[in-house]
A and B are shown apart, each in its own frame.
Chain A
Amino acid sequence: MRNDAVLLMLALAAGPARAGIPEEREECLGCHSDPSQVFVLSSGEKLSLYVDAAGFARSVHGESLRCTDCHSDKTADHASGSLTFRTRREVTKAYYEQCKGCHFANYTKTLDGVHYAVMSRGNDKAALCVDCHGAHDISRPGQPRTRISQMCSRCHAREAAVYARSVHGRASETNPDVPVCTDCHRAHDIADPRDGSLARRTPELCGRCHGDAKLMARYGLSTAVIGTYLADFHGMSATLQRREGAASGAPLAAVCTDCHGVHDIQRPEDPRSSVMAANLQRTCARCHPGASASFPRAWLSHYEPTFERAPLVWLVQTFYRIMIPFMVGGLVLQIALHLWRVVANR
Chain B
Amino acid sequence: MTDPHASEPASRATDLTRFSAAQRAEHLATMLVFVLLCLTGLPQKFYTAGWAQTLIGLFGGIDRTRWIHRFSGVVLGLATAAHFTNATRTMLSRRVGLIMVPNRRDFEDAILQLRYYLGLTDRHPQYDRYDYKQKFEYWGLVFGNVIMVVTGLILFFPVRFAEIFPGQVIPAAKVAHSNEGLMAFFVITIWHIFNAHLNPDVFPFDPSMFTGKISRERMLHEHPLELARIEGRGPEGGGGATADHARERELR
Name A's B-contacting residues (CB within 8 A): 232-233, 236-237, 239-241, 243-244, 248, 250, 288-292, 294-300, 305, 310, 312-313, 315-317, 320, 323-324, 327-328, 331-332, 334-335, 337-342, 344-345
Residue pair B171, A236 in contact (C-beta under 8 Å): no
Residue pair A297, B168 in contact (C-beta under 8 Å): yes
Inter-chain pairs besides A298-B169, A323-B179, 14 sampled, C-beta below 8 Å = A233-B155, A240-B47, A244-B62, A294-B162, A295-B158, A297-B168, A310-B168, A310-B171, A313-B171, A317-B175, A331-B187, A331-B190, A334-B117, A345-B1
Question: Closest 9 CB pairs between A and B?
Answer: A297-B167, A320-B179, A298-B170, A337-B117, A240-B62, A295-B162, A298-B167, A250-B63, A294-B167
Residue pair A331, B167 in contact (C-beta under 8 Å): no
Residue pair B172, A316 in contact (C-beta under 8 Å): yes
C-alpha gap A248/B44 in the complex (Å): 17
In-complex Cβ contact of A328 among B118, B155, B171, B183 (8 A): B183
Residue pair A327, B114 in contact (C-beta under 8 Å): no
C-alpha gap A320/B144 in the complex (Å): 13
Which of A294, A310, A339 is most buried by chain B, counting CB atoms within 10 A of its CB?
A: A294
Name B's A-contacting residues (CB within 8 A): 1-2, 44, 47-48, 53, 56-57, 61-63, 114, 116-119, 155, 158-159, 162-163, 165-172, 174-176, 179-180, 182-183, 186-187, 190-191, 194, 199-200
Q: Which residue of B lies closest to A242 (CB)?
A: B62
In-complex Cβ contact of A320 among B163, B168, B175, B190 (8 A): B175
The answer to whether A241 and B62 touch (CB under 8 A), given A297-B168, A335-B191, is yes
5 pairs, CB–CB < 8 Å, chain A vs chain B:
A244-B61, A295-B159, A298-B158, A334-B114, A342-B1
Residue pair B171, A342 in contact (C-beta under 8 Å): no
- Residues on A with C-beta less than 8 A from B48 are 239
- B160 CB, nearest partner CB in chain A, Å: 8
- Residues on A with C-beta less than 8 A from B2 are 345
- Residues on B with C-beta less than 8 A from A295 are 158-159, 162, 167
C-alpha gap A298/B173 in the complex (Å): 10
Q: Which residue of B lies closest to A311 (CB)?
A: B168
Residue pair A312, B117 in contact (C-beta under 8 Å): no
Residue pair A341, B1 in contact (C-beta under 8 Å): yes
Residue pair B63, A248 in contact (C-beta under 8 Å): yes
Residue pair A316, B168 in contact (C-beta under 8 Å): no
In-complex Cβ contact of B62 among A237, A313, A323 (8 A): A237
The answer to whether A335 and B190 touch (CB under 8 A), given A240-B56, A248-B61, A328-B183, is yes
Which of B114, B159, B187 is most buried by chain A, counting CB atoms within 10 A of its CB?
A: B159
C-alpha gap A315/B159 in the complex (Å): 23
C-alpha gap A140/B177 in the complex (Å): 55
In-complex Cβ contact of A291 among B162, B171, B190, B200 (8 A): B162
Residue pair A298, B171 in contact (C-beta under 8 Å): yes
C-alpha gap A2/B247 in the complex (Å): 100
C-alpha gap A317/B200 in the complex (Å): 36
- B175 CB, nearest partner CB in chain A, Å: 5
C-alpha gap A337/B2 in the complex (Å): 15
- Residues on A with C-beta less than 8 A from B44 are 236
Residue pair A233, B174 in contact (C-beta under 8 Å): yes
C-alpha gap A292/B119 in the complex (Å): 61
In-complex Cβ contact of B200 among A241, A327, A339 (8 A): A339
- Residues on A with C-beta less than 8 A from B167 are 294-299
- Residues on B with C-beta less than 8 A from A328 are 183, 186-187, 190
The answer to whether A292 and B159 touch (CB under 8 A), given A297-B168, A342-B1, A342-B200, is yes
C-alpha gap A337/B172 in the complex (Å): 36
- B43 CB, nearest partner CB in chain A, Å: 9
Which of A300, A315, A331 is most buried by chain B, counting CB atoms within 10 A of its CB?
A: A331
Residue pair B159, A305 in contact (C-beta under 8 Å): no
C-alpha gap A316/B176 in the complex (Å): 6
C-alpha gap A24/B171 in the complex (Å): 73
Q: Which residue of A lies closest to B48 (CB)?
A: A239
- A283 CB, nearest partner CB in chain B, Å: 14
- Residues on B with C-beta less than 8 A from A296 are 167
- Residues on B with C-beta less than 8 A from A334 are 114, 117
Q: Which residue of B lies closest to A342 (CB)?
A: B200
Q: Which residue of B lies closest to A300 (CB)?
A: B171
- A60 CB, nearest partner CB in chain B, Å: 44
Residue pair B186, A324 in contact (C-beta under 8 Å): yes
